[in-house]
């Protein structure tokens, strides 16, 4: 009887089955691990989205709390204003405060009977004695501050507002009325719009029962609707809570976070589109599906072709060697490229150890490549550079990923050099990144040129001052002799001769005035006093004393509002005010009295001072010419002058570390604005 299977064939079938089983198990394990990784990534992205929503809530709550805190301080100011100021004065201040704070809808003050004694709504006086912001303080005098729930405006039904009030007490502690500020929630929404820059995000403000008071971005029909997530909640969300739900407003699935605003009957919510939060995850999902299919197919194919495994292994080894050669060639190319750059460049790892540099960096430091690589900045750089150079990788990331600094950098022989160092964090695939790239720019020659330019400018200024000063005496002599000729030969000269002498005398006077202006221009930097605190209000008043005759002759008025104290040269700042006020008086409209207003506004670490007038104005295309020496926009027959005053103003402002410009249109008056640094204590505050 013949055997059913030959000896050669009998072991072949189990081997194939074993290979197939191995392939199935490997593919199954791979797909399980890949699925677990995808789920972990899914949860991680959701957690990141929740953290983003929580961070946005904190930002909006801080922002809203700051705005409401400023409004609360405004209410306290008007609570403490003495009634002797008068209704019109208090209402003027109220209107000013409302204009400064866009979220304020109205400000009003009530007496003990609930009657409005002053407010920002004009002559109409609504009946408000039954409103909670009055009755709460009347019935409970011990209540200092009361915040009423959101209400619709009677005048604008689309506007929602809350009221913030403080009780007013007489000296004996009895009730004497209240001060109320109504806060426009729509304006707050515009504030949110300005800072909401996360794609797919929205911010919602509701009352404690879930009624939508505003939403950004705006959606038609959202305001006034009730959110189902507040059902059964009378006090909103005192603690931060977040969940995932289908939005009743735009019908999209969102990550949601809500929390009450402490001290106010409001709840702030932030939602993120789940599709935006998981946008990267869907890409990974597609790649994972593709990879799963590829690995599974490859596994089954490999199991069926087990007989050719050795050949494939040899092929893989050969490809690995080729890849290694390619990587080596790429590294060599990268190093050659770095060496071709004449600017010093070095790369260090996250621990500050140098791992790569180019030849220019070796020449700059004076070390060889073996002395640099594997060592830290403390080992090879000068001590003063190390203090600025060494910075933890995490700190560099927190600084925006890039810093730069200028430093003295002596070479190994002690020769002084100047350099600007740029340090950039490079983030690899890991969370914290992988390296820091440093670029050194040699600015030694540039600094030498700048120093030489400063010396040249100083010498040129000295030369112009000396020339201008020395020209005064010959001009005085020319003018004197021309006057002498006119006196002695007046009877001899005809009309043309006398006219020629007048022309010559007038030209000498104008040249003398121009030289005097040039001297004044050069004295700004040469003859200036040392800086000290200067009250600009007093400087403006001193300027008005000098201009008293001019103001009286033209019938003009100058309103000097409260101006700050700055650090500067008292004489030059007074002259700056005098030039700008005198300029406004000179270029007034012929049929209208001059009106000049001087005001100030804080801008970060500077003060902006504005000198506004109602004069003839300036065409915008001529604005740049105003501040140049001897530049005039009108003929001398129209307006006297030499075109030096505004140039002196610009030089004074620049000496004090500021800048000056003009905002104007022809026939619309002018606003000359200049900035001066705030005092250090004010800047710190």
Write the DSSP string, 98-124: HHH-TTEEEEEEE-TTS-EEEESS-S-
Q: Determine the average pLDDT of the residues in 395-402.
A: 72
Q: In what side-by-side order are the strands of the sheet with 402-408?
A: 354-357, 345-349, 435-442, 418-426, 402-408
Q: How would residue 683 be classed by pLDDT, with cut points 50, 70 and 90?
A: very low
- Give the integer Cα–Cα distance in Å for 532 and 529: 9
**Comparison of pLDDT for 316 and 14, the residue scoring more:** 316
* Domain 42-293 matches domain 341-446 at the CATH topology level: yes
Q: Which residue has the tokens 């300029």?
A: 583
Residue ranges covered by each domain of the chain? 42-293, 341-446, 532-677
Predicted pLDDT at 569: 85
pLDDT of residue 328: 83
- pLDDT(4) > 70: no
Cα separation, 402 vs 258, whole angstroms: 36
Amino acid 11: pLDDT: 43
What does the mean pLDDT of the chain come to? 78
pLDDT at 131 over 70: yes
Residue 307, pLDDT > 50, answer no
247 or 511: which leads in pLDDT: 247
Mean pLDDT of the region 178-191: 82
Quote the tokens at residue 9: 């064939």
**pLDDT of 7 higher than 50:** no
- Separation of first and last alpha carbons in the chain: 108
Mean pLDDT score, 473-502: 68
| Average pLDDT of the segment spanning 133-154 | 83
Asked if residues 52 and 198 have their Cβ atoms less than 8 Å apart, the reply is yes
If pLDDT is split at 50, 70 and 90, which confidence band does 13 have?
A: very low
* DSSP E strands, 153-302: 160-169, 175-184, 201-207, 212-216, 241-246, 253-260, 266-273
**Segment 221-228 mean pLDDT:** 80
Peptide bond between residue 274 and the one before it cis (omega within 30 degrees of 0): no
Q: Who has greater pLDDT, 297 or 672? A: 672
Q: Mean per-residue pLDDT for 104-120?
A: 89
Confidence of residue 547 (pLDDT cuts 50, 70, 90): confident
Mean pLDDT of 568-584: 85
- Identify whether the C-beta of residue 160 lies closer than 8 Å to the C-beta of residue 152: yes
Q: How confident is the model over 514-541, as a mean pLDDT?
A: 71
Predicted local distance difference test score (pLDDT) of residue 511: 61
The whole-number pLDDT of residue 458 equals: 64
pLDDT of residue 559: 92
pLDDT for the residue numbered 381: 84
CATH code for 341-446?
Answer: 3.30.450.20
Check whether 608 has a pLDDT greater than 90.
Answer: yes
Cα–Cα distance, 131 to 129 (Å, whole number): 6
Q: What is the pLDDT of residue 593?
A: 85
pLDDT tens per residue across span 49-69? 888 888 888 888 888 888 888
Q: How are beta strands 345-349 and 354-357 bridged, if at all?
A: antiparallel
* 67-74 mean pLDDT: 87
CB 615 within 8 A of CB 580: no
- The residue among 613 and 497 whose pLDDT is bigger is 613
- In this model, does residue 287 exceed pLDDT 60? yes
pLDDT in tens, 412-443: 887 888 888 888 887 766 555 568 888 888 88
pLDDT at 180: 93
Please state whether beta strands 201-207 and 266-273 pair in parallel, antiparallel, or not at all (unpaired).
antiparallel
Share of the chain above pLDDT 90, in %: 7
Chain centroid offset of residue 483 CA: 62
pLDDT value for 325: 86
So what's the architecture of 42-293 in CATH?
Answer: 2-Layer Sandwich (3.30)
> Which is more confident, 642 or 218?
218
Which among 277, 265, 217 is positioned nearest to 53, based on CA atoms? 277
324-380 pLDDT, tens digit each: 888 888 878 888 888 888 889 888 887 888 888 889 888 888 888 888 888 888 888
The C-alpha atoms of residue 214 and residue 183 are separated, in whole angstroms, by: 13
Q: Please, which pLDDT band fits residue 566 given cuts at 50, 70 and 90?
A: very high
532-677 CATH pick, 3.40.50.300, 3.40.1190.10, 3.30.70.20, 3.30.565.10: 3.30.565.10
Dihedral of CA atoms 100, 104, 109, 115 in degrees, nearest 10, equals: 140
Position 272 scores a pLDDT of 86
The model's confidence at residue 85, banded by pLDDT at 50, 70 and 90, is confident
| Residue the block writes with tokens 């030499």 | 642
């Amino acid at each position: 009887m013949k055997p059913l299977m030959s000896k050669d064939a009998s072991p072949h079938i189990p081997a194939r089955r074993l290979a197939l089983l191995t392939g199935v198990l490997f593919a199954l394990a791979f797909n399980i691990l890949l699925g677990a990784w995808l789920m972990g990534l899914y949860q991680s992205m959701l957690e990141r989205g929740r953290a983003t929503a929580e961070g946005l809530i904190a930002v909006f709550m801080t922002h809203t709390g700051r705005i409401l805190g400023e409004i609360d301080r405004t209410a306290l100011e008007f609570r403490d204003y003495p009634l002797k100021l008068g209704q019109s004065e208090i209402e003027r201040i109220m209107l000013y405060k409302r204009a400064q704070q866009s979220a304020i809808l109205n400000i009003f003050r009530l007496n003990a009977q609930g009657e409005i004694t002053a407010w920002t709504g004009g002559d109409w006086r609504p009946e408000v004695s039954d409103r909670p912001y009055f009755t709460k303080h009347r019935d409970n005098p011990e209540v200092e501050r009361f915040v009423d729930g959101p209400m619709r405006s009677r005048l604008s039904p689309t506007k929602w507002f809350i009221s913030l009030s403080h009780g007013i007490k007489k000296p004996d502690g009895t009730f004497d009325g209240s001060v109320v500020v109504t806060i426009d929630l729509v304006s707050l929404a515009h504030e949110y719009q300005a800072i909401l820059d996360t794609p797919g995000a929205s911010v919602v403000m509701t009352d404690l029962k879930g009624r939508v008071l505003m939403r950004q971005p705006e959606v038609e029909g959202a305001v006034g609707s009730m959110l189902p997530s507040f059902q059964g909640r009378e006090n909103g969300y005192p603690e931060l809570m977040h969940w995932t739900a289908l939005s009743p407003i735009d019908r999209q699935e969102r990550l949601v976070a809500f929390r009450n605003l402490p001290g106010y009957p409001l709840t702030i919510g932030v939602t993120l589109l789940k599709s935006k939060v998981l946008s990267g995850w869907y890409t990974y999902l597609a790649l994972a599906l593709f990879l799963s299919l590829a690995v599974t197919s490859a596994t089954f194919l490999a199991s069926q072709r087990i007989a050719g495994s050795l050949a494939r292994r040899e092929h893989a080894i050969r490809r690995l060697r080729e890849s290694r050669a390619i990587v080596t060639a790429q590294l060599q190319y990268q190093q050659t490229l770095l060496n071709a750059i004449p600017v010093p460049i070095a790369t260090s790892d996250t621990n500050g150890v140098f791992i790569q540099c180019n030849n220019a960096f070796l020449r700059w430091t004076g070390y060889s490549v073996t002395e640099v690589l594997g060592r830290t900045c403390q080992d090879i750089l000068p001590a003063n550079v190390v203090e600025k150079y060494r910075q933890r990788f995490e700190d560099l990331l927190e600084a925006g990923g890039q810093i730069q600094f200028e430093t003295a950098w002596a070479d190994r022989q002690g020769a002084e050099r100047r350099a600007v160092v740029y340090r950039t964090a490079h983030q690899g695939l890991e969370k914290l990144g992988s390296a820091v790239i440093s670029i050194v720019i040699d600015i030694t020659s540039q600094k030498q040129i700048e120093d030489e330019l400063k010396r040249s400018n100083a010498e040129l200024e000295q030369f112009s001052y000396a020339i201008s000063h020395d020209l005064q005496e010959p001009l005085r002599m020319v003018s004197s002799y021309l006057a002498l000729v006119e006196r002695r030969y007046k009877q001899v000269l005809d009309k043309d001769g006398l006219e020629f002498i007048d022309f010559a005398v007038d030209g000498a006077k104008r040249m003398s005035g121009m030289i005097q202006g040039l001297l004044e221009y050069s004295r700004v930097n040469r003859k200036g006093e040392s800086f000290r605190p200067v009250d600009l209000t007093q400087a403006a008043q001193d300027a008005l004393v000098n201009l008293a005759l001019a103001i009286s002759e033209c019938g003009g008025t100058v309103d000097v509002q409260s101006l700050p104290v700055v650090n500067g040269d008292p004489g030059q700042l007074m002259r700056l005010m005098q030039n700008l006020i005198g300029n406004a008086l000179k270029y007034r409209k012929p049929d209208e009295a001059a009106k000049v207003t001087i005001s100030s506004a804080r801008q970060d670490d500077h003060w902006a001072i504005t000198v506004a007038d109602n004069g003839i104005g300036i065409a915008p295309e001529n604005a740049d010419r105003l501040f140049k020496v001897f530049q005039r926009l009108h003929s001398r027959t129209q307006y006297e002058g030499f075109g030096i005053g505004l140039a002196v103003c610009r030089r004074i402002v620049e000496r004090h570390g500021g800048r000056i410009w003009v905002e104007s249109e022809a026939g619309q008056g002018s606003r000359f604005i200049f900035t001066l640094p705030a005092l250090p204590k004010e800047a710190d505050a």
